């Protein structure tokens, strides 16, 4: 998680908006309310890079629906996003087991628990 640090976050990327036609939300929704019901209205843009040099080395763009945009602005919701498998997970702060810093509403992981598990299995397999 340390390699990727929040440098800048911008919603309302006007240029990107044009490309949103026909896209669904790229974040997690419940099984009862699948992502197909959520048309993307905006992009969540994230610059990735080294915090020390402040030079972004890459940018990711995730299409998000109106509901997710709202949650991103809601301090009660924390978004954890895996850069490796593009899985996302919403954490409801009042019910979270861990303490999360007040100002941090988003966590960019280079490997999520799911990926870590798959990697472990792969490692075990290749040991044989």
Q: List residues near Zn ion by CB under 5 A.
A: 25, 27, 38, 65, 68, 82, 84-85, 87, 112, 115
Distance of CA 31 to the CA centre of its chain: 18
Query: In whole angstroms, how close is the CB of 119 to Zn ion at the nearest point?
Result: 9
Query: In whole angstroms, how close is the CB of 53 to Zn ion at the nearest point?
Result: 26
Q: Which is nearer to Zn ion, 55 or 114 (CB)?
A: 114
Q: Which is nearer to Zn ion, 36 or 128 (CB)?
A: 36
Task: Find tokens 């976050």 and name the residue.
Answer: 9
For the record, the structure tokens of 3 come out as 């390699």
- Do the beta carbons of residue 109 and residue 83 sit within 8 Å? yes
Please name which of 123, 78, 127 lies closest in space to residue 100, comparing C-alpha atoms: 78
Query: In whole angstroms, how close is the CB of 66 to Zn ion at the nearest point?
Result: 8
Q: Which is nearer to Zn ion, 52 or 78 (CB)?
A: 78
Query: In whole angstroms, how close is the CB of 44 to Zn ion at the nearest point?
Result: 10
SS3 sequence of 53-111? CCEEEEEEEEEEEHHHHHHHHCCCEEEEEECCCCCEEEEEHHHCCCCCCCCCCEEEECC
Q: Which is nearer to Zn ion, 68 or 79 (CB)?
A: 68
């Amino acid at each position: 998680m340390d390699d990727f640090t929040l440098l800048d976050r911008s919603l309302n990327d006007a240029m990107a908006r044009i490309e949103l036609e026909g896209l669904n939300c790229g974040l997690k929704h419940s099984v009862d309310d699948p992502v197909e019901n959520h048309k993307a209205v905006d992009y969540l843009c994230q610059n990735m890079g080294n915090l020390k040099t402040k030079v972004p080395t890459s940018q990711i763009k995730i299409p998000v629906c109106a509901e997710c945009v709202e949650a991103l602005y809601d301090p009660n919701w924390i978004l954890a996003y895996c850069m490796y498998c593009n899985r996302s997970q919403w954490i409801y702060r009042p019910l979270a087991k861990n303490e999360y810093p007040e100002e941090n509403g988003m966590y960019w992981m280079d490997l999520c628990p799911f990926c870590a598990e798959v990697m472990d299995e792969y490692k075990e397999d290749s040991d044989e």
